[in-house]
Amino acid sequence: MMTVATDVEARLQKLEKENRVLQRKLERSERMCDELEETNEKKESLLRQIIQELRDSQASLEERKGKIKSLKSAQAQLVQTEKMSGLGQLVAGVAHEINNPINFIWGNIQYVEEYAYEVRAILEQYQAAFPNIPPELQEYMEEVDLEFLLEDFDNVLKSMRSGAKRIREIVLSLRNFSRLDEASHKSVNIHEGIESTLLILQHRLKANSKRPTIQIQKNYTDLPHLECYPGQLNQVFMNLLVNAIDACEDTNKERTPAEIGDQPNQITIQTQQLDDDRIQIAITDNGKGIPESARSRLFDPFFTTKPVGKGTGLGLAISYQIIAEHHHGTLTYDSEVGQGTTFIIELPICQKSEI
């Protein structure tokens, strides 16, 4: 019996010892779990902090990108506005210098015509009163061909009047185009601005060694006067028409003279009134169209598909800003590769508030 009791006691002691060991292991495991949980919480907190910092950095980066884009846009606007303002001042100065002498010529043509009529009448009466002209005078009259002089003099005066009239029209168009720095919006005939811009671009439309004349097709409808910044809209017309001309010239590089003759370069300008308070201006070229890869960035500042040195990438961006921000209108486009491009301007006839 003693042996059995001793064995039981020994086993109990062993079990108690093992139990104490297991208890210590359990306590150590619990401490490790607590430490692990605390470490995980710290890691999670640190991870959340890092994620938040990344989000803040991304937001700051996007904000900086926005500011940089705005600064670039503002810079582009300032550069282009300064260029166009300088052009407007130059055109206005040239128009002013031409205007004074042409008005002098135009004003005196009427008197020249009257004087010529009176001189002719006197010569005719003199010839009727003195039919026997001295031989020396008769010889001189035949030498200068007096009959031809009297007949052609009328034609010369008509040509002078026609030329002076054309110069006056050009001066008026130049003065209309030069309204680039006017600070207030006005009610104007939009067709006058288009015609003035076409006049400025005549040297680009005429035939040259690379291509025949670029035909201009005008489909105008009667429009009410438009409240706008006339000079700024002239700038938009200039940008869009220059792009259309460039598109026609680029297309010709890939065509033979026979192909150009069969399908000549053409730019169509169409205006129409959409409803009681909106008008539309569409400028279409039959160039090669805008590639798909360029369409998403077409109105971005400094983006251009033209060769280096030919395009600044500012024209369309500034045109979009002028139409959308300054005139509360829209500037969109429709292009088909190989067929051409149409830029569409829609503008309110009356501005609801100060532009």
What are 85-144's pLDDT values in tens digits? 566 666 667 777 777 788 878 888 888 888 888 888 888 888 788 778 788 888 888 888
> For residue 320, what is the domain's CATH number?
3.30.565.10
What's the pLDDT tens digit per position in 7-26?
A: 777 777 777 777 777 788 77
Higher pLDDT, 248 or 64: 248
The pLDDT score that the predictor gives to residue 348 is 94
Give yes or no for residue 247 having a pLDDT over 80: yes
pLDDT in tens, 45-73: 888 888 888 888 888 888 887 777 777 76
Q: Which helix (H) or strand (E) holds 56?
A: helix 2-129
Domains: count for the chain: 1
Nearest in space to 228 (alpha carbons), one of 268, 172, 279, 284: 279
Distance CA 197, CA 174 (A): 9
- Tokens 């884009």 — which residue? 69
pLDDT at 264 over 70: yes
Give the rounded percent of residues in the chain with a pLDDT score beyond 90.
17
Residue 108: inside a domain, yes or no? no
Identify the CA nearest to 199 among candidates 256, 229, 241, 257: 241
For residue 302, tell me if it sits in a domain.
yes
**293 within domain boundaries:** yes
Residue 112 domain-assigned (yes or no): no
Provide the residue range defining the domain that includes 249. Answer: 182-355
Q: Which residues contact 205 (CB under 8 A, 6 or more apart)?
A: 198, 213, 214, 216, 245
Identify each DSSP E strand in the chain by its residue range: 186-188, 215-219, 226-228, 266-275, 278-285, 330-336, 340-348
Is this structure's pTM higher than 0.75?
Answer: no
The C-alpha atoms of residue 273 and residue 250 are separated, in whole angstroms, by: 32
Tokens of 135: 């031989």
CB 194 within 8 A of CB 241: no
Whether 354 is covered by a domain: the verdict is yes
Q: Is the distance from CB of 246 to CB of 201 less than 8 angstroms?
A: no
In this structure, of 60-64, 167-171, 345-349, the range with the lowest mean pLDDT score is 167-171
Q: Which of 208, 231, 206 is nearest to 216 (CA)?
A: 206
In a domain, 175, yes or no: no
Query: 200 lies in a domain?
Result: yes
More confident residue, 100 or 248: 248
Distance CA 41, CA 20 (A): 31
Classify residue 60: in a domain, yes or no: no
pLDDT tens, residue by residue, 305-336: 665 555 556 678 888 888 988 889 999 999 88
